Amino acid sequence: MAIPTINLHISGSVIAIYGAVLSTITAAVQIVTHFRDRANLKIRVQNNMEMIGDPRYAKMTLTMMTVVNAGRRPITITGVGAYRLFPQKPFVIPDTRPNCPCELTEGKQMQAIIDEKGVDLSVMESWEAYTSTGGTYRLAVVPWYKRCWNRRKFREQAMAKAESSKLSQ
């Protein structure tokens, strides 16, 4: 009994198309995984708040800044603060829960509390959270072009101070 032979012809272009499609799908999956797994902080600010039950904050109007890790990767927050419009200086908020530096894993949050009496909220540029790797996550209050102008003014002021200190030495 003779064994039948089967001839199968696959051209090089079919293999090339198959490889291109497979590598494109793999690259797309890797890109989606990268963006899904990165650290992603969300910042929310609420003003005109009142804290009940804590005598430290009795009869104070508070602004609460909440920083939430909405990503999958843990991230360490070293500080939170805000920039104000020029010529007012930026500030750091020291009253945080949990205390800084703190590691935020997936879904965890921290809160920063500040008394509104010492802060004019109408001149806020942005609220910021600073990470241990030098990253800054920002909740913008004013449009981008005002932020650029504001940061430029701060840089110019810093350069003028540096130059004047050089001349005085």
Q: Is domain 40-142 classified as CATH 2.60.40?
A: yes
The pLDDT-based confidence of 24 (bands split at 50, 70, 90) is very high
The reported pLDDT for the residue numbered 64 is: 92
So what's the pLDDT on residue 67? 94
Give yes or no for a contact between 137 and 96, defined as CB atoms under 8 angstroms apart: no
Distant-in-sequence, close-in-space partners of 104: CB < 8 Å, separation ≥ 6: 41, 67, 68, 69, 74, 75, 76, 77, 110
The residue with tokens 């009253």 is 95
pLDDT per position as a tens digit, 126-163: 999 999 988 899 998 888 888 889 889 989 988 988 88
Residue 111: predicted pLDDT: 93
**Res. 112 pLDDT band, cuts 50 70 90:** very high
Mean of pLDDT over the chain = 88
> pTM for this structure?
0.72
Q: What is the CA radius of gyration of the chain?
A: 27
Mean pLDDT of 18-46: 91
> What are the sequence ranges of the domains in the chain?
40-142
**What pLDDT does residue 31 have?**
93
- Partners of 96 in the beta sheet? 112
Least trusted range by pLDDT, from 36-40, 62-66, 87-91: 36-40
Phi, psi of 17 (to 5 degrees): -65, -45
Q: What is d(CA 142, CA 146) in angstroms, rounded to the nearest whole number?
A: 6
